[in-house]
Amino acid sequence: MIIIGLGNPGAEYEGTRHNAGREAVMKFGQKMGFGDFEFDKKSQALVATGKVGKGKATLVLPETFMNKSGAAAGKFAKGAKKMKNALGKAIKAFPDMIIVHDDLDIPLGKAKMSWDKSAGGHKGVASVLKALGTEAVFRIRIGITPASAKGKLKKLDHETIIDNFIVAEFKDKEADELKSVIKKVVDCLEMAVSDSPERAMSEYNAEFNK
């Protein structure tokens, strides 16, 4: 299993909203005892490999900036399979790859695992899907947008998103919410590798929204 955590490299981006996926994959590696990530020159990414139960996983943290994440992902795009989508059309697919990333359209403290979905405006994801040549890949989307008590997301204009929000650090209370959902993401990844991504998606999409 290839697991790619999207984010921006460098200490100045640690703890920011746009790095939620990268942080989750790092936490997964720590829990599984994968050891230190090492820089791979060919892919321009930090890489760690280890066992999860009877399965194996390679964790990838692109060291390019978010909108060029596909450069690293493309180097690990092996084992493509021909599958059928929901409409019965034959497609190129990567069922042994999971992309983990932040998502503005999901409330902070929640997450969702998806298969064969569009990038939804996320430039990092768009870069990866372009490099893979398909949307047929598993993704775990981590919510980063505060919501009201009724679950309504705060509306953000484009300038606010780019300049003041996605590269901003979480507030203390928000960081606690992120920590809680990342723990679930880590458990989901463990099941995806040791059992199957399909089972993990089935079980954890309900768990993510409790």
Q: Considering only 21-25, 99-103, 205-209, which range has the smallest mean pLDDT?
A: 205-209
Please report the pLDDT score of residue 208 as a whole number.
94
Q: How confident is the model at residue 118 (pLDDT cuts 50, 70, 90)?
A: very high
d(CA 167, CA 158): 13
Residue 78, pLDDT score: 84
CA distances from 81 to 24, 143, 159, 165 (A): 27, 30, 39, 38
Spatial neighbors of 112 by CB under 8 A, at least 6 apart, are 103, 106, 140, 141, 205, 208, 209
Among the ranges given (72-76, 78-82, 128-132, 155-159), the one the predictor scored with the smallest mean pLDDT? 155-159
At the top level of CATH, the class of 2-207 is alpha beta
Q: Which sequence positions are flagged as catalytic?
A: 18
Q: How confident is residue 155, by pLDDT bands cut at 50, 70 and 90?
A: low
For the chain, the domains span 2-207
Give the pLDDT confidence score for residue 25 in this predicted structure: 98
What proportion of the chain, given as a percentage, has pLDDT over 70?
A: 93
Check residue 23 and give its pLDDT.
97
Task: Read off the pLDDT of residues 41-63 as tens digits, 9 standing for 90 and up.
Answer: 999 999 999 999 999 999 999 99
pTM for this entry: 0.93
d(CA 207, CA 210): 6
